[in-house]
Structure 1
Amino acid sequence: MRVRNKPWAKEKLESFPQFVIHNPEQHKGKWNEVFGNSNPLHIEVGTGKGRFVTGMAQSNPDINYIGIELADSVVVTALDRIIEANLPNVKLLNQNANDLQKFFDKGDVDRVYLNFSDPWPKKRHEKRRLTYKTFLDLYESILIDGGEIHFKTDNRGLFEYSLTSFSEYGLLLTYVSLDLHKSDYEGNIMTEYEEKFSEKGFPIYRSEVKFQNEE
């Protein structure tokens, strides 16, 4: 889907430093100081317009959230949601997820959310998939021991690929659903894409995996 350019977006993002962190590398290893508490930190890689991360922050006030999105014309909508809700436990990074190690130290993050990531269906683009092994390395490098990845998609091919990638990496599969909205899973917060696809009758696939501590 083509994103309409918003030339004013960058300036607006810079105008709300209480919600948008502009120099995240300065807070590496010290995110508890940013939030003013030692609550668990969950991040969403590819937060889009912010419906999910905002909803999670509202539902879980004792957890800190960071939404990461590179496209400023998209993440500015997430900023609007956060401003309206005035949530103290959610921040945004207008940054590239490839740079996560610059922003987070080992153990800074308790959970990573991947929601409706680009499937990159062509084989030559495999390394761009957010569940490819190099990205799993990246998540492991910032997560606590035993940290988790929660993954949702409408794309069956990406889901099957991701389950294989998780397994080959040695991750422990703790939850899987081939049709989330017909399951007994509680507490689901929908993204914009999720609502759109589910209304068209597409099943939503979801999995939770955990990094296993080395003995």
Structure 2
Amino acid sequence: MINCEFCAEFQTDGPARFRSLYKNVAAHRIVARSARFVAVPTIGQMFEGSFLILPIEHVETCAIQTEDARAEMLSLTDEMITHCSAFGKPIVFEHGATSAEGGGCGIYHAHLHVVPIPTATAAAELFPEATEEVVDLAAAWRTLHGSPHYLLLGDGKSMRIRNLSTNPGVFPSQFFRRRLSEFFSLKTSWDWRSYPAVEQSMLRVLKRRATHAG
């Protein structure tokens, strides 16, 4: 999909933010992959060792995928949660939205965040606005399947969710990044677009890539 930032980066040689910023540093940022998914370090490393898990093909949300695809994504997510534990206490979150709905972060290509936070923190503290708790990430996606707009956060084993198509509320772009920045009183910005051209934390993560890339 030509106008998608992630499609431009992973399916074509078109203009993409990472390629533009890091063209003299690294050819790509893939640290792990499966048949249909890749794991990449996040541009805007609020917490060093933060990653995104995303499908290579254009799909707008994680929950909309087939059960088979979600199972494959879960396997790669589990691998990256284990990897992230070297940096902190991993949590996962997604602000899923379709382009028709118009919510989310502005890139309507499914992406799940895996973020190592400094201290073990209950999901209820980070996401008190959730309306339901489910047993794991697989259950969260099953529950939200078909929803054009939703939020989910947890440690992968226990997840808190809110279906924004039935319980809208006010949840701006990069909602969870804003929340983490406030909760941990970070000096760095929540807005990934405001980070410097080359992040030193990104470079450190990329140096570890050879050990994990398939």
TM-score normalised per structure 2: 0.32
